[in-house]
Structure 1
Amino acid sequence: MLKTRVITAIVLLTILLAVLFVLPPIYLGGFFLLLLMASAWEWSRLILPNQPWLAYFYASACLLIIAGLMLLHQPLGPFALMFVASIFWLLIAPLMLSRGLKINLKKWSAPYFILGLVLLPATWFSVMFLREIGLLFLLSTMALVWIADIGAYFVGKAIGKRRLAPEISPGKSIEGAVGGLVLCYIYAGLCTFYLAPTLTLFGVWTYRFGWLPMFLMVTALTFLSIFGDLFESQFKRLAGVKDSSRLLPGHGGVLDRVDALIPVMPIAVLLVGFL
């Protein structure tokens, strides 16, 4: 199992590095578009597992939303989508998580279907927008999510005792979340100290507002990455499955790998817009 997991991770990392540093930027959009459509396919199967054909139409619907907004050549559409997604993560997602497993997925299937058609395309547009600012700007923002996850995992394994959300995700601990947050503070501080201010969101924020507001922003983004992880865990438990799919050997589904990025990316774009 571990060997399969490592091989899959190496293959994915190789593809990602090639798309980022070797191929033209348009390939990055295509790569993330494939990830989005795979995530949409999994999203639909979680809601209605007995209607697998619908998942292909759902993935196509996400593609059509993106294509339609791009053909309009109006930035207001994608920004409105990202704004709605941000409102959901800031105001509605915490309420849904507070209900634990008391949500009836069958009764709420329609809202979940609509939700995916907003959150997933909004994530794609967010990634593309941050890439337009700069490759390092995008990578440094995404790396914050990965560092929060890695820190939470290892600190939780070492000293985690108090469960963060025992009903939704028993493996996550408060100590792990705090450890991930501290590691994100260190990472953002190093980015700000050693890189030019305009190259990362942390540097721009520090330059405009100071160190304390920057660390508050990092705190918010780290918590949002945890929200995304917990939201997908809740989604899977409501659906009665362990993984969103088996598309990635040893890792589960694509949605399992990008869940923490989904809330962070659109809000990072709004933070840039605020600047």
Structure 2
Amino acid sequence: MLMLRVTTATVLLVIFCLTIALGPLAFAGVMAICFGAVLFEWLRMGGLGPVPAALVAAVEMITQFSLYWAGALPRMEWFLWLVNGCVMVAWAVIFFAELFHRENGFKVSVRTCLLTAVTFVPSAYLSLLYLFEIGDWVMVLSVLLIVWGADISAYFSGRAWGKHKMAPAISPNKTWEGALGAYVIVIIFFLLTYWFCAQKNVFTNFIFDELGFFWGVVVLAGMVALSIAGDLWESMLKRLVGIKDSSNLLPGHGGFFDRMDATLPVLPAATWIVLTVVLLG
């Protein structure tokens, strides 16, 4: 199983690098397929049949990709700022609801499941494209590293010191010690990045330059919290429908939703912060 997971991850990394090398449209097209797969899996969890789910996912992602292809993204900054602000607030509410119901979980209606799917996934996709547009792959990778760093740090910190369950009714393996480890390690890593890396298109360098040390740390902590919210949200949806993985599209990893759940809240939040500085700063 480990070899299968490593092989799949390696193939995905190669594809990711190739799409960046081939140019913005190739990157946007491949990412549209990935986010479309996330949306398809999410809609299936909401009870939509495979054909309607595939049609909705295809229409939404083709529409978003077409907007990017037409060069509309620079003229959508205020729209993205407004939508991503609402999405970020919604994810924050979800996070507090997850913590409040951590002992017994809570039900999610079909309407809520479907509405969040068709709103959150396109928002994350357009946010990814906007970050790529203004800061190239470095900006995108620096945002994704917040998610990946938090996930890896939480896993190893939880394995080493985890005793107190964070949300036992939603995701029994997550612990407060793991979350604390994620916060500490991610913040230290990006502080060191800021001190030793002068590139302005690194997301965390941008927020430390524009917002200062204190608010930069606050933003980082908030984004780690949002990544946890996305992870818990998918875990809860899977528990409600009684499945282990969102699909089997990625051998050894489950589905695209399984791999990108924590990314979905973080990308809109990062874009909203950048747009707030650009538009209102």
Q: TM-score, normalised by structure 1?
A: 0.91
Tell me how far 1:82 sits from its aligned partner: 2.2
Tell me which residue corresponds to 2:189. 187
Tell me which residue corresponds to 1:121. 122
Judged with a 3 Å threshold, the aligned counterparts in structure 2 of structure 1 residues 208 and 63 are, in CA distance, closer, same or farther, namely closer
Aligned counterparts, 1:1-275, within 5 A: 1-20=1-20, 22-48=21-47, 51-67=49-65, 70=68, 73=72, 74-75=75-76, 76-95=78-97, 98-99=100-101, 103-105=106-108, 108-134=109-135, 135-196=137-198, 198-275=200-277
Partner SS state of residue 191, structure 1: helix
Distance 1:6 1:13 in 2: 10
Distance 2:42 2:163 in 1: 32
Distance 1:197 1:204 in 2: 9
Q: CA RMSD in A?
A: 2.0
Instruction: Point out the more displaced range, 226-235 or 90-99.
Output: 90-99
Tell me how far 1:163 sits from its aligned partner: 0.7
Judged with a 3 Å threshold, the aligned counterparts in structure 2 of structure 1 residues 54 and 216 are, in CA distance, closer, same or farther, namely same
Tell me how far 1:193 sits from its aligned partner: 0.7
Partner SS state of residue 171, structure 1: strand
What code does the residue aligned with 2:32 have?
Answer: L
Tell me how far 1:52 sits from its aligned partner: 2.3
Tell me how far 1:93 sits from its aligned partner: 4.4
CA contact (8 A) 2:94 2:229 kept: no
CA contact (8 A) 1:154 1:176 kept: yes
Distance 2:205 2:54 in 1: 41
Partner SS state of residue 213, structure 1: helix
Tell me how far 1:157 sits from its aligned partner: 1.0
Distance 1:274 1:165 in 2: 33
Tell me how far 1:66 sits from its aligned partner: 1.7
Partner SS state of residue 146, structure 2: helix
Partner SS state of residue 40, structure 2: helix
Instruction: Point out the more displaced range, 249-258 or 53-62.
Output: 53-62
Instruction: Point out the more displaced range, 65-74 or 11-20.
Output: 65-74
Judged with a 3 Å threshold, the aligned counterparts in structure 2 of structure 1 residues 23 and 69 are, in CA distance, closer, same or farther, namely closer
Partner SS state of residue 159, structure 2: helix
Count of residues in correspondence between the two structures? 271
What code does the residue aligned with 1:170 have?
Answer: P
Runs ≥4 residues deviating over 6 A = none
CA contact (8 A) 2:32 2:65 kept: no
Instruction: Point out the more displaced range, 78-87 or 94-103.
Output: 94-103
Judged with a 3 Å threshold, the aligned counterparts in structure 2 of structure 1 residues 148 and 125 are, in CA distance, closer, same or farther, namely same
Tell me how far 1:217 sits from its aligned partner: 1.1
Q: TM-score, normalised by structure 2?
A: 0.89
Distance 1:67 1:23 in 2: 16
Question: Deviations along 1:164-204, whole A, 9 cap, x unmatched?
Answer: 11110011111111111111012111221122262222222
Distance 1:26 1:68 in 2: 10
CA contact (8 A) 2:38 2:257 kept: yes
